[in-house]
Amino acid sequence: MLSRLVIVSAGCLKSSSPLGAGLVQASRSLHTSSQSLAPVPALPEKGGKVRHGIFPEEIFQLLYPKTGVTGPYMLGTGLLLYMLSKEIYVINHETFAAASIGGVIIYGIKKFGPSVAAFADKLNEEKVAKAQEVKDVAMSSLAQAVEEEKKEQWRAEGRSMLFEAKRNNVAMLLETNFRERLHMVTNEVKRRLDYQVALQYLHTRMEQEHMVNWVEKSVISSITPQQEKESIAKCITDLKALAKATQAKAMA
Amino acid sequence: MADRPVPVIEKRLMDVKLGELGSWLGGRDFTPNGLISAVRRGHDRYYNKYINVKKGGIGGVAMLLVGYVAMSYMWEYDHIKHDRWRKYH
C-alpha cells in the first residue's frame, strides 16, 4: 500500500519539479504506432506477488521443482548462517539498531497497513470518479449538441413552407390592390357617364320648356283685341243658351 | 521448437546459451544512449510490475529499500570490517 501512496504522490511530483518530470515520464507509451487505435489497457489489479514483503515469488517458483516448498527457506537459512559465520555480515551496534527499527516498521505495517491501503484506494477512486464525471459531462453535452443540430436541420426543412406562405401573402396583397383599383376606375367612369346623361336630359328639358313658353307667348300675342271681343261675346251667348237649357231641365 | 533463427544479440538474457554469452555481451549497446535506454527499460519493467497497479502492496517499495540497505552495507564494508569479532583481522 505504500506503492499506492507512491502513485498518488507521483502525480504531484510530475507536476512540481521539472527534474522529476524529466525522470518520471509516462511509463506506458500511448498510441505511439500509427495502427494502435484500441483503448488504453486498464492497470493490472495486483502487482507481482511478493512473499514476506521483500522476496519476489519468482524465486520460490524457480526452486520449487528441484527442492519443493522448503527449498528457498533452506537456502535463506544457509546463506544467513554462512554470512554470520564468515563475518561477511558483522554483528555490531548497528545490528541492534537495525533489529529494533525493523521490528517497529513491521509492527507498524501489520497494524496500519489495511487502513492506509483503504485510504489510498479511496483517493484513487475519487480521482477516477472525477475524470469519469468530466468524460460523462462532455459526452452528454456533445450528445445534446447533436440533438439540437438535428432539430435545426428539421427546422431548415420547413423553410419551403414558410416561403410558400409568404408568397401567398404577397399574391393576396397584389390581388386586393388590383381589385381596389378596378373598383375605383369603374366608379369614376360611371360618374362621368352619369354626368353626361344628366347634361343631355337637362338640355332636352330646357328646349322643351323654352319652346312651350315661346309658343304660348306667340299665341297670346296673336290674339288681337277684336278677336278677343268676339270670343267674349260668343262665350256670353253660349253661356246664356246653356243657362236656359239647364233652367228648362230643372223646371221639367 | 526452433522457429526462424534469431540473431544472438536480440535474444533475452535467459534464452542465451552459456557459449553464446560472450558474443551476446559483445553485441549489446554500450553507448551512453544505449546504457540510459537499458536503465529506463529496467525501471519501466520494475515500475509496471510492482508499483503501477491498482492495488499494490508493500513489496514494490520494500524491495527497493532492502536493495538500498544491502548496497549501502556493501559500500561501507571496508569500514564495518573493523567491528568483526574474530581475533585476527
Interface test with B, best of A9, A90, A96 (most B CBs within 10 A): A90
Backbone angles phi, psi at A83, to 5 degrees: -65, -35
pLDDT digits (tens, 9 = 90+) for B27-81: 787 888 989 998 999 999 888 888 888 887 788 888 999 999 999 999 999 998 8
CA distances from A38 to A31, A41, A44, A170 (A): 8, 8, 17, 60
Contact across the interface for B51 and A91, Cβ inside 8 Å: no
Contacts of A90 in chain B (CB under 8 A): 80-81, 83-85
Return the amino acid letter for A210. Answer: H
* Rounded CA separation B70/A114 (Å): 28
Mark yes or no for CB contact B48/A121 under 8 Å: no
CB A27, CB B47: distance < 8 Å: yes
Residues B54, A44 contacting (CB under 8 angstroms):
yes
Put simply, the answer to whether B51 touches A6 (Cβ < 8 Å) is yes
Q: Does A85 touch chain B (CB under 8 A)?
A: no
* A40, three cell numbers: 488504453
Q: Is the CB of B80 less than 8 angstroms away from the CB of A92? A: yes
* pLDDT given for residue A67 in this prediction: 87
Which pTM value belongs to this model?
0.55
Angle at the Cα of A120 (from B50 to B61), degrees rounded to 5?
30
**With the C-alpha atoms ordered B66, B69, B74, B80, is the resulting torsion angle positive or negative?**
negative
Chain A residues near residue B85 by CB distance under 8 angstroms: 87, 90-91
Write out chain A's pLDDT in tens, 252 residues.
556 666 555 544 444 444 333 344 444 556 566 666 667 777 787 878 888 888 888 888 888 888 888 889 999 999 999 999 988 898 889 899 999 999 999 999 999 989 999 998 899 899 999 999 999 999 999 999 999 999 999 988 888 889 999 999 999 999 999 999 999 999 999 999 999 999 999 999 999 999 999 999 998 888 777 788 888 999 999 999 999 999 998 887
The C-alpha atoms of residue A93 and residue A215 are separated, in whole angstroms, by 174
Neighbours of A28 (CB within 10 A): 13
How much is the pLDDT for A129?
A: 95
Tell me the shortest Cα–Cα distance from B62 to chain A, in angstroms: 6
Q: What was the pLDDT predicted at A34?
A: 62
Instruction: Determine the pLDDT at residue A207.
Output: 96
In this complex, the residue of B54, B57, B84 whose CB is nearest that of residue A50 is: B57
Residue A47: list chain B partners with CB under 8 A.
49-51, 53, 55-57, 59-60
**Cβ neighbours of A43 in B, within 8 Å:** 52-54
